[in-house]
Amino acid sequence: MDRFLRLYCAQINSTVGDFKGNFEKIAYHIEEAKKNSADIIAFPELAITGYPPEDLLLKPAFISQNLKYLDKLKKLCSNITVIVGFVNRDFEIFNSAAIMNNEKILSVYNKQYLPNYSVFDEERYFQRGALGYIYDINGTLVGVNICEDMYYSSGPLQHQAISGGATLIINISASPYHQGKIEEREKILYTRAVDNRVNILYVNLVGGQDELVFDGNSMLVNEKGDILFRAKAFQEDFFIYDLDSEDLDSTRLQDAKYRTQRDWTRQAEGSIGVLKIVNEKNSNNIGKSITFKKTEDRYRDSIKGIEEEVFNALVLGTRDYVQKNGFKKAVLGLSGGIDSALAAVIAGFAIGFENVTGVLMPSAFSSRGSIDDSQKLAANTGLRTFIIPVTNIYEAYLDALKDSFKTRDMNITKENLQARIRGNILMALSNEHGWLLLATGNKSEISVGYCTLYGDMAGGFAPIKDVYKTMVYRVCDFINKKYGNIIPAEIIEKPPSAELKPDQTDQDTLPSYDILDNILKAYIEEDRDYQDIVKSGFDDKTVAKVINMVDFSEYKRRQGAPGIKITARAFGRDRRYPITNKYRLK
Amino acid sequence: MDRFLRLYCAQINSTVGDFKGNFEKIAYHIEEAKKNSADIIAFPELAITGYPPEDLLLKPAFISQNLKYLDKLKKLCSNITVIVGFVNRDFEIFNSAAIMNNEKILSVYNKQYLPNYSVFDEERYFQRGALGYIYDINGTLVGVNICEDMYYSSGPLQHQAISGGATLIINISASPYHQGKIEEREKILYTRAVDNRVNILYVNLVGGQDELVFDGNSMLVNEKGDILFRAKAFQEDFFIYDLDSEDLDSTRLQDAKYRTQRDWTRQAEGSIGVLKIVNEKNSNNIGKSITFKKTEDRYRDSIKGIEEEVFNALVLGTRDYVQKNGFKKAVLGLSGGIDSALAAVIAGFAIGFENVTGVLMPSAFSSRGSIDDSQKLAANTGLRTFIIPVTNIYEAYLDALKDSFKTRDMNITKENLQARIRGNILMALSNEHGWLLLATGNKSEISVGYCTLYGDMAGGFAPIKDVYKTMVYRVCDFINKKYGNIIPAEIIEKPPSAELKPDQTDQDTLPSYDILDNILKAYIEEDRDYQDIVKSGFDDKTVAKVINMVDFSEYKRRQGAPGIKITARAFGRDRRYPITNKYRLK
């Protein structure tokens, strides 16, 4: 029987700072891997601390705690090589992978490429690592690197494969989701595998952490770029895969160019050291190959299409925010509109509809449908609802403020006032019952400031904050198709309205959402300027108006609740904008 | 008459993105410098764009605009060498200084050390610069570098002085204020000047930008470390100073060690290039030295003590936030307590008391003093006030929520409800009249979450957000001493209370502020852990309680208004903390 290498990919959901919980998850999978006689088990980047720990990394005690748990882990590592992400301290700190076996930390790899763009701040905390070893594990040369390290064509991965002669690269990662990211990552993996004639085991984190969702999608790619196996998206998962001699040696060893390269390396041995790792007790799995290579297993992920991907990201992000912060239940305002309906459905899928309360808060300007349609949604889903009218409270404010208001007519002040009364009621329910308040605003509104600070923006978490209105419709359609029309057609079909004055619709103030969303994408995600956006065929006055609204609303967003990033550029850590800013279109 | 070099230090207040306004300020000072026959004029770091431009730097059009204005500036640069901060684009972007004369950009220096800690994110945007030239300006060798560049003993400054032989270094800077920073900066300047036997002209930005205040304090230090001249703190200023041959050549040229060093450099000429800059027309100031070296001019800054420093920082930060964001007036809730009194006085000094409205919003739990004391403050200062009782609105909420509340007794829900009614009233006034709402919470409260989200935390700006309660008292004492007891003694002497239930005081819930503030400083600013703080002599239960309150309140702070950083670590960009975080004391 041929030689083979049994890999165990542990795609876990770590929680930031939960050393004990993370340790227990890691320990569980090490036990499982041992039971299944795996040669190597790999966990995601910073699996011990959770990712990203942000300024917790500045606390010496936090680093010590992580080292203490690494030390506890090493005692579990016998007869198996364990690769796990942790924070290494060597005067300064590093984002690192420990390579352990025989109850020892045999080697540490320090991440060399530290992302410091988008949501990432790794240069704020970590020093850059330098060249490490490659590992001879049971006869196979293995290179280990971390996330960003594989994004550069002439980075550590190439060095380990081409100069070092590694036939397997293990990349441990904490790569957050956004639309298009999964494909992008697959392309990188394909390119690195093929260019360097190397197998790559990619182990990604899964789970929600504040504004980020890590989608998992860990995978094993062979040196032809084929995906041999893929873990599930948006949930914890693991897989076991036996790489045999054919996988490990075939192409590159046949290829004169690469053989020469490898021979050269062996001569120039100092350029990259090889650390030999053998199990002290004989490995008990030699010759007992179990394979998972059947075609039907290759893609365990059944997600199809961006809408399902987005919905899954929103559900996981919401569930983890609620539960990791110690909540069991959530509350939100149900206006009868599509945004609050979608937020309610996401919350229901995340923590169970029986744990979600929708509050109906009609005013004199509410349509009859705002009540009926919400109750239909509740009937379809099991969402709990109750009604608290706001009219009396509104009147009490108007009375108290009568000497301070310039006009008795309806105006923005009074629209905001109504929204803030609702925010206050919801916060009172949240305080009284310990329910997390979910804000229901979408990205289109939040971009242009079509929302009330402390009103509909109130909440601990904003599930659809990064979802454009047009995507809100698409995700609702997907939900209705997949789960049997649980969102009433009336909610989807009515013209969007804040219902804060008579006969109001969003389009009194905003361009149609099709147009708005395209301008917003160009301006926010692509950093295109006024002239350039107009050139692509939009009305110049509309573009000017939208850009000005976006710029002027920065102060509102700064005080908005966190929400799940699903686009290439979300508001939050991802877009660091000055409030005080006189830069205008021209 | 001896040769001399006339320096013009232009400590201006740039606004982020205000290219036209910044250009006009720069142009004005160039004209003044020419009229005064200066040889060199220097402006702060990124004077053209304002600092920090944050993610505006990702917009190609923003960079182009800044280059366009640099180009306009160069036409004004004849017969004077102008050094001005801008964003250089050379495939990637750099944080740079343009060295201009004869209507040309003669040279560009790209910043080499990019701060990426605390509030700084420069690695996010800029590439690191490499070795540049030094400049022979009218016979004096001058090195130019930027802010962080001078913080490293073996950095560009040393290179320019020791290897390049520069006798004058011009460091253009945008260095934000915090307590202790001014001294720290002076020590660095002293050390660099003495170690490298070099004169240093330090040109710092002044003004407020969102959470940062730049304190100015530009200065000229000679090669003995003496401060020859210092610009005013916390306001725009400029100075002209003639460095004569004695300043420029004395010490180092006498010192065998440095002479050797310089000779060596001249032999190894390739190591740092020298660019000769001469005025095309003859400089008209040869021999006409005007000096400002009289002792009484040396320290123009009259600020004494941390309290005055902090007060000035708060006033400037508030003024610039209000005015740069286009507001003329402000509003705040006046509770009769010391925090809102201080916030009102800061606002009054910033924009004039006649432009500040204090709203008194008594409830059933308000003491008589809450009204009387606030009105006394108004009488002393000219602050406008009016009264809006909240009782009827509160009753309307209780009625609407009666079926949803678990108890009729007073509890946290109802305390928060009152605070949020006040927040809603203040926001209504802000919306109706275009007044900026100032939140009045201090750092001690905000640290432990002793504040209500959307209630007393509501506001566009929070002037004393980074001021500990003990410092609130110190600053109020300073104000009363300097400005004649404008804050009534009753306000200062009463026990702090939120007045949200009968006979409430802060110390029902919190340890005394002396103890609280010391624990907070240890935990927040020094990243010390539980054990370590207990060891320094605090009660273990108190430390545990405080740390838990800080950790648990992260979600509130994330939605808080921006406010002025005055401590070594403020909340905001300066402290990037996960909300979802299970790291606990042990």
Of A305 and B523, the structure prediction assigns the larger pLDDT to B523
Q: What is the pLDDT of residue B273?
A: 84
Q: What is the pLDDT of residue A240?
A: 92
First to last CA, chain A: 72
**How does residue A131 score in pLDDT terms, banded at 50, 70 and 90?**
confident
Give the mean pLDDT of A467-493.
97
Question: b or e along A490-524 (b: 16 or more beta carbons within 10 Å of the residue's beta carbon)?
Answer: ebbebebbbbbbeebebeeebbebebbbbbbbbbb
Of B414 and A267, the structure prediction assigns the larger pLDDT to B414
What percentage of residues in chain B have a pLDDT greater than 90? 81
Active-site pick, A9, A147, A451, A476: A147
CA B441 to centroid of chain Cα atoms = 19
Q: In a mutagenesis test of the A interface, which of B59, B363, B393 is the best target, namely the one with the most A β-carbons within 10 Å?
A: B393
Task: Indicate the average pLDDT of chain B.
Answer: 91
B147 is an active site residue: yes
pLDDT per residue as tens digits for the range B480-489: 999 999 999 9
Task: For chain B, say whether A420 makes contact (Cβ under 8 Å).
Answer: yes
Q: In a mutagenesis test of the B interface, which of A418, A451, A571, A583 is the best target, namely the one with the most B β-carbons within 10 Å?
A: A583
Q: What is the pLDDT of residue B559?
A: 98
**How does residue A138 score in pLDDT terms, banded at 50, 70 and 90?**
confident
For residue A150, pLDDT over 70 is answered with yes
Task: For chain A, say whether B396 makes contact (Cβ under 8 Å).
Answer: yes
Which 8-state DSSP code applies to residue A78? S
Task: For chain A, say whether B387 makes contact (Cβ under 8 Å).
Answer: no
Angle at B455 between CA B450 and CA B461, to 5 degrees: 90
For residue B252, pLDDT over 80 is answered with no
In chain B, what are the domains? 4-280 (3.60.110.10), 305-502 (3.40.50.620)
Q: Do B431 and A416 touch (CB under 8 A)?
A: yes
Q: What is the pLDDT of residue B498?
A: 86
Q: What is the pLDDT of residue B576?
A: 96
For residue A231, pLDDT over 80 is answered with yes
Q: What is the pLDDT of residue A269?
A: 42
pLDDT per residue as tens digits for the range B289-344: 555 443 344 455 567 789 999 999 999 999 999 999 999 999 999 999 999 999 99
Residues of B within 8 A of A579 (CB-CB) are 210, 325, 562
Of B284 and B427, the structure prediction assigns the larger pLDDT to B427
Q: What is the pLDDT of residue B301?
A: 55
A111 is an active site residue: yes
Residues of A within 8 A of B427 (CB-CB) are 416, 420, 453-454
pLDDT per residue as tens digits for the range A339-357: 999 999 999 999 999 999 9
CA-closest candidate to residue A436, choices A283, A572, A321, A289: A321
Beta bridge partners of B95: B87
Please compute Rg for chain B using Cα positions. Answer: 27
Q: What is the pLDDT of residue B70?
A: 98
Task: For chain B, say whether A130 makes contact (Cβ under 8 Å).
Answer: no
Active-site pick, B34, B45, B122, B501: B45
Q: What is the pLDDT of residue B270?
A: 46
Q: What is the pLDDT of residue B257?
A: 47
Residues of A within 8 A of B429 (CB-CB) are 401, 404
Q: What is the pLDDT of residue B291?
A: 52
Of A21, A404, A562, the CB nearest to B432: A404
Of B58, B423, B559, the CB nearest to A527: B58
CA-closest candidate to residue B188, choices B173, B205, B207, B208: B173
Residues of B within 8 A of A209 (CB-CB) are 578, 580
Question: b or e along B84-110 (b: 16 or more beta carbons within 10 Å of the residue's beta carbon)?
Answer: bbbbbeeeebbbbbbbbbbeebbbbbb
Task: Find the DSSP H helices in A150-196.
Answer: 156-158, 181-196
Task: Name, of A227-241, A274-288, B320-334, the range with top average pLDDT.
Answer: B320-334
Interface size A-B, in CB pairs within 8 Å, comes to 238
Q: Do B19 and A583 touch (CB under 8 A)?
A: yes
The total number of residues written for chain B in this structure: 586
Gap between the Cα atoms of B221 and B244, Å rounded: 13
**Taking CA atoms, what residue in B is nearest to A558?**
B559
Task: Indicate the average pLDDT of chain A.
Answer: 91
Q: What is the pLDDT of residue A584?
A: 82
A147 is an active site residue: yes
pLDDT per residue as tens digits for the range A425-435: 999 999 999 99
Residues of A within 8 A of B116 (CB-CB) are 116, 123-124
Contact A232, A300 (CB under 8 A): yes
For residue A295, pLDDT over 80 is answered with no
Cα-Cα-Cα-Cα dihedral of A141, A144, A147, A153, to 10°? -50
CA-closest candidate to residue A39, choices A297, A276, A241, A274: A241
Q: Do B432 and A406 touch (CB under 8 A)?
A: yes
Q: Do B454 and A401 touch (CB under 8 A)?
A: no
Residues of A within 8 A of B458 (CB-CB) are 453-454
Q: What is the pLDDT of residue A369?
A: 82
**Taking CA atoms, what residue in A is nearest to B458?**
A454
Of B393, B424, B581, the CB nearest to A16: B581
Residues of B within 8 A of A583 (CB-CB) are 16-19, 56, 62, 65
Spatial strand order in the sheet of B219-221? B227-230, B219-221, B199-204, B168-173, B140-146, B134-137, B274-277
Active-site pick, B34, B74, B111, B465: B111
A413-416: long-range contacts, CB 8 A cutoff, minimum separation 24: A413/B428, A413/B431, A413/B432, A414/A500, A414/A501, A415/A452, A415/A498, A415/A500, A415/A501, A416/A452, A416/A455, A416/B427, A416/B428, A416/B431
Of A19, A55, A558, the CB nearest to B577: A55
3-state secondary structure B329-396: CEEEECCCCHHHHHHHHHHHHHHCHHHEEEEECCCCCCCHHHHHHHHHHHHHHCCEEEECCCHHHHHH
**How does residue A283 score in pLDDT terms, banded at 50, 70 and 90?**
low
Q: Do B397 and A425 touch (CB under 8 A)?
A: yes
Question: What's the predicted TM-score (pTM) here?
Answer: 0.94
Q: What is the pLDDT of residue B248?
A: 72
pLDDT per residue as tens digits for the range A320-332: 999 999 999 999 9
**How does residue B63 score in pLDDT terms, banded at 50, 70 and 90?**
very high
Contact B248, B254 (CB under 8 A): no
Of B585 and B337, the structure prediction assigns the larger pLDDT to B337
Task: Find the DSSP H helices in B159-270.
Answer: 181-196, 245-254, 256-267
Which 8-state DSSP code applies to residue A148? G
Q: What is the pLDDT of residue B586?
A: 54
pLDDT per residue as tens digits for the range B210-229: 999 999 999 999 999 999 99
Gap between the Cα atoms of A40 and A241, Å rounded: 10
For residue A367, pLDDT over 90 is answered with no
Q: Is B402 exposed, middle or buried (0-12, 13-18, 19+ CB in 10 A)?
A: exposed
CA-closest candidate to residue A224, choices A200, A249, A193: A193
Q: What is the pLDDT of residue B302?
A: 61
